[in-house]
Structure 1
Amino acid sequence: MEWLSAPFEVSFVQRALWGGVLVSLVCALAGTWVVLRGMAFLGDAMAHGMIPGIAIAAVLGGNLVVGAAASAAAMALGVTALSRSPRLSQDTGIGLLFVGMLALGVIIVSRSRSFAVDLTGFLFGDVLAVREQDIRFLVVALAVAAVVSALGYRAFVALAFDRRTAHTLGLRPGLTHAVLLGLVTLAIVASFHVVGTLLVFGLLIAPPAAAILWARRIPVIMLGAAVLGCVATVTGLVLSWHWGTAAGATIAAAAVALFFVSALASGVRQWVRA
């Protein structure tokens, strides 16, 4: 027990724990819809699409969250515009914007004097540097995500399983898709400071993907994803403390490892039943 509790006796690890738990809850709400709709590639692209905005804000001394939100919104608008072309598939548009935005971000960061440090911070975050204002921001982001998920639940469900049915029911699938992109953007922007743009994808996808193997109802999937995300956060912080590894990367690795454990257990369950 002392081995488990020792890291959390330090104040900055306690703040990292709260930050990681809040990120897990936000990502559980948004990530469930990402997994159900098969938007994993889009989510990854949007996570990387924030880098130019973050880089510009860092170079100019502005607010990183504002820069990240603006860049992610531009990425979402670009994907929406390119997906309307009948001659280009959505994956093609996402791939082009993914590479273009990532390259632009690296170019901007490379113009600064602290290229290696800045780029590493953008990609991998620094969960141990979470401040109280970051936690307050995450609380607000969680509240907004919960309200959007509750109000848009019926429309999100219809869109996730049958876009034509959503249109027939008068649920405006185009607007619903835009709101869903906004929810994903909120989760990514709120989380990048804790685990970075590269690793936020792990918490956004891995816990919901692990939970969906065991649950059939969407609220249960969200709850399972939240629990698994919190477990990954605690596990990652404890292991990084004792092993001396990067905390954000260890949390993301723990989330992915939990998915594979869940997949293996689910496979064993199906084999036993058969």
Structure 2
Amino acid sequence: MPSLLEPFTVEFFVRALSGGVLVAVICGVVGTWVVIRGMAFLGEAIGHGMLPGVALATVLGAPVLLGAALSAAAMSAAIGLLQRRGRLSYDTSIGLLFVAMLALGVIIVSHSRSFATDATALLFGDILAIRPDDIAVLAIAMIVTVGVSAGFHRSFVATAFDVRIARTLGLRPQLAHVVLVALVTLAVVASFQAVGTLLVVGLLLAPAVAARAWTTRIPTTMVVAAVFGAAAVMVGLLASWHFATAAGASIAAAAVLLAAVSAITRSVLTRASRRRHPVDHRDVGFPKSGPVALPERNR
């Protein structure tokens, strides 16, 4: 037991855990909408869309988070512009920009002298290097995420189920979609340092998928997803400490594993419940006193 708790006495581990929990809350809230709306490809594309900004910031010595935010925002805006002006479908627009931004990011990073180190941090994150000011930024991002989600909740719900009804109710579905894309962008940028661009979608999707196995109410799903995400951060960091594995990859793997365990557990409990309370199909449609009497003329 003392060996298991040893990491909690180390300052950088506690900072990583604190930052990871804040990221889990952000991803739990936004990831719920991503799963409901089927926007996983968008999250993946924005994650790779950060590459040019992050790479350029790394080469120039500028703040990496700023480069990531600017590049991700440009990616989101370009997707909307290309879809409206280019008459392309949503997934086609994302696919084209996905490849373009990924290629541009690799080209920029390839000019850096420390290419291998930069590429590793870029793709898989470096949560153990989180500083106190990074935690402050994540706390602000969490407050913004929760506040915007609460403010646009009705619009998000109506838009998710029927755009026409949302428009009829005056909930402005186009604005709701833009705001939701902005929240996905914020979540991806906030998660970048924790798990990198390749693994960010795992932390965005897996906790929400795990939560939806237990609840159908959206606010409850967000809370449960945040708890699953925080658990994934804890398990991943402990695995990284004791087994000398990459922290970001361990967190993402733990998140997916928890989603799988959640789904299997829910399935087993559902089957066990059905066995305890079997339905006698012979009684369906008939009163308990006996079969339905036929009309006089049909006897």
TM-score (norm: length of structure 2)? 0.88
Is 2:113 aligned against 1:113? yes
Once residues 266 and 135 of structure 1 are traced to their aligned partners in structure 2, the CA distance between those partners, rounded to angstroms, is 34
Once residues 226 and 37 of structure 2 are traced to their aligned partners in structure 1, the CA distance between those partners, rounded to angstroms, is 19
Is 2:142 aligned against 1:167? no
What are the equivalent positions in structure 2 for 1:52-201 lying under 5 Å apart?
52-84=52-84, 88-201=88-201
1:32 deviates by 0.8
Amino acid at match of 1:137: V
Amino acid at match of 1:234: M
Could you tell me which residue of structure 2 aligns to residue 16 of structure 1? 16
Once residues 55 and 48 of structure 1 are traced to their aligned partners in structure 2, the CA distance between those partners, rounded to angstroms, is 11
1:86 deviates by 7.9
Once residues 231 and 254 of structure 1 are traced to their aligned partners in structure 2, the CA distance between those partners, rounded to angstroms, is 8
1:269 deviates by 2.9
Give secondary structure in 2 for the equivalent of 1:200. helix
Once residues 176 and 109 of structure 2 are traced to their aligned partners in structure 1, the CA distance between those partners, rounded to angstroms, is 35
1:158 deviates by 0.9
Q: For structure 2, which runs of at least 5 residues remain unmatched after alignment?
A: 275-299
Moved over 6 A (4+): none
Is 2:5 aligned against 1:5? yes
TM-score (norm: length of structure 1)? 0.96
Once residues 40 and 241 of structure 2 are traced to their aligned partners in structure 1, the CA distance between those partners, rounded to angstroms, is 30
Please give the per-residue CA displacement for 1:30-86, whole angstroms capped at 9, x wherever unaligned: 111111100001111111110101111111121212211111111111211233368
Could you tell me which residue of structure 2 aligns to residue 272 of structure 1? 272
Amino acid at match of 1:106: V
Could you tell me which residue of structure 1 aligns to residue 296 of structure 2? none
Once residues 82 and 127 of structure 1 are traced to their aligned partners in structure 2, the CA distance between those partners, rounded to angstroms, is 34
Please give the per-residue CA displacement for 1:125-175, whole angstroms capped at 9, x wherever unaligned: 111111001101111111111110111111111111211111111111111
Once residues 118 and 127 of structure 1 are traced to their aligned partners in structure 2, the CA distance between those partners, rounded to angstroms, is 14
RMSD after superposition: 1.3
Amino acid at match of 1:222: M
Give secondary structure in 1 for the equivalent of 2:96. helix
Is 2:232 aligned against 1:232? yes
1:205 deviates by 0.6
Is 2:288 aligned against 1:250? no
Identity of counterpart residues, as a percentage?
59
Once residues 49 and 197 of structure 2 are traced to their aligned partners in structure 1, the CA distance between those partners, rounded to angstroms, is 9
Give secondary structure in 2 for the equivalent of 1:112. coil
Could you tell me which residue of structure 2 aligns to residue 212 of structure 1? 212
Corresponding residue pairs, total: 274
Once residues 33 and 54 of structure 1 are traced to their aligned partners in structure 2, the CA distance between those partners, rounded to angstroms, is 26
Query: Which has more radius of gyration?
Result: 2
Once residues 190 and 40 of structure 1 are traced to their aligned partners in structure 2, the CA distance between those partners, rounded to angstroms, is 16
1:87 deviates by 5.3
Could you tell me which residue of structure 2 aligns to residue 202 of structure 1? 202
Once residues 41 and 149 of structure 1 are traced to their aligned partners in structure 2, the CA distance between those partners, rounded to angstroms, is 21
Once residues 207 and 160 of structure 1 are traced to their aligned partners in structure 2, the CA distance between those partners, rounded to angstroms, is 20
Give secondary structure in 2 for the equivalent of 1:215. coil
Once residues 86 and 128 of structure 1 are traced to their aligned partners in structure 2, the CA distance between those partners, rounded to angstroms, is 42
1:88 deviates by 2.9
1:208 deviates by 0.4
Could you tell me which residue of structure 1 aligns to residue 286 of structure 2? none
Could you tell me which residue of structure 1 aligns to residue 295 of structure 2? none
Give secondary structure in 1 for the equivalent of 2:256. helix
Give secondary structure in 2 for the equivalent of 1:84. helix
Question: Which is worse superposed, 15-24 or 184-193?
Answer: 184-193
Give secondary structure in 2 for the equivalent of 1:191. helix
Once residues 245 and 86 of structure 2 are traced to their aligned partners in structure 1, the CA distance between those partners, rounded to angstroms, is 47
Once residues 199 and 159 of structure 1 are traced to their aligned partners in structure 2, the CA distance between those partners, rounded to angstroms, is 28
Q: For structure 1, which runs of at least 5 residues remain unmatched after alignment?
A: none
